[in-house]
Every structure is written in structure tokens, then in C-alpha cells.
Amino acid sequence: MGTVSEARGGPKLLDREGFLAVAMLMPAVLYIVFLVGIPFVMAVLFSFSDVSVGSPTIDRFTLETFNDVINDPVFRRSLQNSFVFTLFAQGLVLILATVLAILLNRNFRGKWIVRLLILLPWATPIAIGAINWLWLLDSVYSPLTWILREVGLIGAGALLGPRNVIWLGQETLAMASIIAIHVWRMLPLSTVIILAGLSSIPQDIQDAVQVDGASFLRGWFQVTLPLIRPILMVAMLFGIIFSFTDMTVVHVLTRGNPNNTTQVLASWAFYTGIEGGSLAKGAATAIFLMPVLLGVAILMLRVARRTEVR
């Protein structure tokens, strides 16, 4: 009797594809609903209200919050910096990751050690890595400044001047430093994604390219690049999303200084809503991230889909 009831109950239910699909997807759906969906809905409601830390209840809905945010010069500077930061950082990441992936796709002695060293920045918690960079870019005790002084780039009559380099105290150098550190952080992920795409190309195709006598650039642009274009789109999509929403590097290194010239949307939303106590303005600032990221995601996925179909 136990065997019959068992056959009628458990196994038949587990054999149903519909039940298995729901059971497997339910944890991911619950995760998205509770950790993404509910906070997003609350952020939208807050952005149309006058909620603050001192008055946490929604008394009325208004568009004045968005008007105040748009007219804020720091917000406009943060929006501009977000685009500059994302474009420069992601461009450098894509170029360097492609070069590294091509090199790591070849066989050479000690390749696994090189792969391990490349993955270390991604495996290291970003807060710890940013604190280390904060010491490396110190205006007085920076090892980078010492190296520049030893090679003659800093000093009397040197190219960069006689004084120490104020890495995080000058507007251009501060933004360049943040971009460089973000590239250092994101490079391993993009390299692994592109390397996976290169490894998936059949060896027969690569042998055919070599037999035809095609140069490296011709083989890359006419054969390899079209084959890994969907993978490149995925790497670019992840990179843009991470870059546009990142605030850890800015928060640890500069906190948006000097004079909010390194402020980005994510950090300004945090400082306005959490530290400043204006939850409505912080939520309205963060909402501006949504259409940009949604548009980028749709564009990248459409390009990858068309390439995959072809």
C-alpha cells in the first residue's frame, strides 16, 4: 500500500514539468520581490512625496521633489559624472579585458597563476581594495608618488612639477583615479566572460583561419569578433550596470570631493537620502538611474539577440 500511495503521490508530482518549473523559480522570484521589487516600489512612492527622516509618513504626493532635484546643480554634475565615469571606465575595461582574454586563451607555462592573479581584484572585497588604494594615493606617503620622484617625473624641473601629486585633491586627477580603480576592479569579470566566449569557438574554425593565411587583425574582425559579439554584449551590459550604479569607490576615496566634482548619481542619492535625511530627494535621485539602465539593457540584449540569430 505504501508503494502504491507513493507512486500516486510524490513521484507523479515531481515528474510534472510545470510543478518543477514553479518550484525551481519560486526562490528566485521571492528574492527579487522582497529584495528588489518592494524597495523599488517604496522608492517610487517616496520620490513623489515629501518624506524625510524626521517625518517618515507620506502626507501628500507631489512633483516638487523632482523639480528640486533637477534644479540642483550638484545633481546635474553627478549625472554628467555618471556618464563620463561609465563611458571611460567601460571603454578601458572592454579593451583591456579583450587583450587579456586573447593572451590567456593561449597555452603558456604558468597560465593558471596568471589567471589567479587577474581574478584577485574581483575576489577581494571592494571596500578593502578601495582602502588600500586610499593609502596608495595618499598626498604625502603615496608609493606611486615616490616612484614618480625616483624616475625623475617629480622634482625640480621635472615634467609633473616639483611638489607631490595630490591624487584625490585635484578635480581631474581625482576623477581619473576613481576611473582607474574601477577599471582595476571590473577587469577580471569582463576578462573571464570574454575568455569564456573565446574558449567556446571551435578549434576547426581557428585552424581554418590559420590555413587561409589570414592576419591576426583580419581573423579577429572577420571571424572571432562576430562569433563572440553576444558575449561581448553581455560583458558590456554587466559593466555598464555596475559602473553606473557603483558608489563604493567614490564613497571610500573622495566622498564626491573636491567640491562634488567626483560625485555620481548613486553616491549623491545616498548622501542626500540617508546622510542628509531627505528620503524623498534621495529616492528621486536614484529613480533617474532606472530609465538609463533599462534602455541600455534593452539595447544590448536586442543587439546580442540579432547577432545570435544570424
Kindly report, residue by residue over 240-253, the tens digit of the pLDDT.
888 888 888 999 99
CA distance 270 to 275: 7
Cβ atoms 287, 47 nearer than 8 A: yes
Give the pLDDT of residue 1: 46
Give the pLDDT of residue 214: 76
Residue 174 belongs to a domain = yes
CA distance 144 to 137: 7
- For the entire predicted model, the pTM comes to 0.83
Residue 17 belongs to a domain = no
CB proximity list for 202: less than 8 A, separation 6 or greater:
none
223-281 pLDDT, tens digit each: 888 888 888 888 888 888 888 888 889 999 999 988 889 999 999 999 998 888 888 99
Which single residue is written with the C-alpha cell 561581448?
232
Residue 53 belongs to a domain = no
Cβ atoms 150, 158 nearer than 8 A: no
CA distance 310 to 305: 9
The phi and psi torsions of 50 (rounded to 5 degrees) equal -120, 35
- Of 244, 249, 246, which is closest to residue 175 (Cα–Cα)? 249
> pLDDT tens, position by position, for the chain (310 residues)?
445 444 454 457 777 777 888 888 899 889 888 888 888 888 888 888 888 888 777 877 888 888 889 999 999 999 999 999 999 999 999 999 999 998 888 888 877 888 888 888 888 888 888 888 988 998 888 888 888 888 877 766 666 666 778 889 888 889 999 999 999 999 998 998 898 888 888 888 877 877 877 787 888 888 888 888 888 888 888 888 888 888 889 999 999 988 889 999 999 999 998 888 888 999 999 888 888 888 877 877 777 676 654 5
The whole domain housing 267 covers 72-309
Cβ atoms 193, 102 nearer than 8 A: no
Residue 305 belongs to a domain = yes
Give the pLDDT of residue 309: 45
CA distance 237 to 190: 10
* CATH code for the domain in which residue 171 is found: 1.10.3720.10
Give the pLDDT of residue 11: 56
* Stated length of the chain: 310
Residue 107 belongs to a domain = yes
Give the pLDDT of residue 161: 65
CA distance 168 to 86: 19
Name the domain count of the chain.
Answer: 1
Residue 288 belongs to a domain = yes
Residue 40 belongs to a domain = no
Residue 262 belongs to a domain = yes
CA distance 223 to 6: 55
The three state secondary structure string of the chain is CHHHHHHHCHHHHHHCHHHHHHHHHHHHHHHHHHHHHHHHHHHHHHHCCCCCCCCCCCCCCCCHHHHHHHCCHHHHHHHHHHHHHHHHHHHHHHHHHHHHHHHHCCCCCCHHHHHHHHHHHHHCCHHHHHHHHHHHCCCCCCHHHHHHHHCCCCCCCCCCCCCCCCCCCCHHHHHHHHHHHHHHHHHHHHHHHHHHHHHCCCHHHHHHHHHCCCCHHHHHHHHHHHHHHHHHHHHHHHHHHHHHHCCHHHHHHCCCCCCCCCCCHHHHHHHHHHHCCCHHHHHHHHHCHHHHHHHHHHHHHHHHHHHHHC
